[in-house]
Amino acid sequence: MENSNNNEAYLKGFDSVLYNNPYPVGSAEYNECERGWAQRFRRNSTRTSLAKKKKPKTFQELYTKK
């Protein structure tokens, strides 16, 4: 089996915005496409969750009138 990072099926899954797996269920290509999609999902959700983490506001910042 090829390295997942260079596999056409993996890349097709990774590039898919919505889950769209054109390969037959149970085939090696199906599994690689699914891995690619899941990896993209993990990377994007990690990046998004890290971007959302902000320094909490202090009491003074919360209650000062602007």
The confidence score (pLDDT) of residue 10 equals: 93
Question: Is residue 4 within 8 Å of 26, Cβ to Cβ?
Answer: no
Q: Distance between CA 25 and CA 53 in Å, rounded?
A: 38
pLDDT for position 35: 93
Walking along the chain (66 residues) 10 residues at a time, the average pLDDT comes out as 68 86 94 92 65 67 71
pLDDT score at 43: 83
pTM of the model: 0.58
